[in-house]
Amino acid sequence: MARQQSGWFEPSRPIRVEGGIRVRNRRGSIGEQWWSRRFVDILERVCDSGRLSRGRSYARSGQVLDLEIGPGLVKARVQGSRRTPYRVTVGITAYGREQWHDLVGALAGQALHRAKLLAGEMPPEIEDVFRGCGLPLFPEQRGLEMDCSCPDWGFPCKHLSAVLYVLAEAFDDDPFLVLAWRGMARDALLDALRRNDDGAVDGGEVDGGGKPGLLDVADVPFAERIDDFYEPGASPARLSPPPGPSDGSEAPPDLLLRALDPPPVKARHIPLLDLLRPAYRSFTE
């Protein structure tokens, strides 16, 4: 019975939905990559463990209907026990043009970080780059502004918790969503990094210290280059990889391929860069 003689009510069950967002991990922790685990670790330090547990259950059963990530704001709908889904928002500070101007300049100044970002990877050292600019990559303990339309007095409620776990797994699939949440969309960032080592944001040049880009070579007419045509356009010193990081890791052998714009060339429907990468990697073996 839903109500007993003592007047105690059993907890209501959420209305089951079809087509909701289900997290893949059915047991244990949610989040597989370092950046999503970093986000989940922050949540589990500041949120009530009981509501987080119920939130995981909601996230695994597909109660989150949709998820929209924009600069500084995540919006979602969560189906609870009432017919009308609850509306959830999670906000953080989105960095402005001047702040991203500094961030892009700092990222472009690190050849290895730049190459990894252009390859779709999120280097762990990116947190240090943000910290060096005085800007946190992930929200601090009190850096989240959360709201849910449900009547639950607890904070965060299970609906908010479910959205936070779904958000963490979305970060798993696309690390650039972390940066988009902070105000810089993936395409805008990669375009700025591709233009040159100094980068640009919204048409404004980023000051990279006046150093020439790794791939910057003067465009000289062929008639003026006949005598030295086969000499390298850049000095060997500029093409040498920088000293490796303190953790002992080395620059990837396909660093130049990652830094170059991918050419619109395919062989048997395979992109040219995908064919060249194994050859570059074999050079180091």
Burial class of residue 195, CB neighbours in 10 A (0-12, 13-18, 19+): middle
Residue-level pLDDT at 233: 52
- Report d(CA 243, CA 235) in Å as an integer: 17
Mean of pLDDT values over 31-46: 82
276 is a domain residue:
no
Can you count the helices (H) and strands (E) in the chain?
11, 8
Q: Is residue 132 part of a domain?
A: yes
User: What is the 8-class DSSP label of residue 88?
Assistant: E
Mean pLDDT of 216-225: 59
Inside any domain, residue 92: yes
The region of weakest confidence among 23-37, 151-165, 189-203, 213-227 is 213-227
Band of the pLDDT at 246, cuts 50, 70, 90? very low
Amino acid at site 63: Q
Share of the chain above pLDDT 90, in %: 31
Asked whether residue 281 is assigned to any structural domain, the reply reads: no
pTM for this entry: 0.65
- Whole-number pLDDT of residue 21: 92
- What is the model's pLDDT at position 58? 92
In a domain? residue 252: no
Other beta carbons within 10 angstroms of residue 57's beta carbon come to: 15
- Note the pLDDT tens digit of each residue in 118-147: 888 888 889 999 999 999 998 876 778 999
The gap from C-alpha 65 to its chain's centroid, in whole angstroms, comes to 22
Confidence (pLDDT) at 262: 63
**269 part of a folded domain:** no
Buried b (16+ CB within 10 A) or exposed e, 255-271: bbbbbeeeeeeeeeeee
The whole-number average pLDDT for the span 3-13 is 48
Q: Give tens-digit pLDDT for 157-173.
A: 899 999 999 999 999 88
Domain that holds residue 134: 34-191
Report if residue 66 sits inside a domain: yes
The C-alpha R_g of the chain, in whole angstroms, comes to: 24
Quick check: 68 pLDDT over 90?
yes
Residue 219: predicted pLDDT? 58
Share of the chain above pLDDT 70, in %: 66
Interval 189-208: pLDDT, tens: 998 888 744 444 444 444 44
Q: How many structural domains does the chain have? A: 1
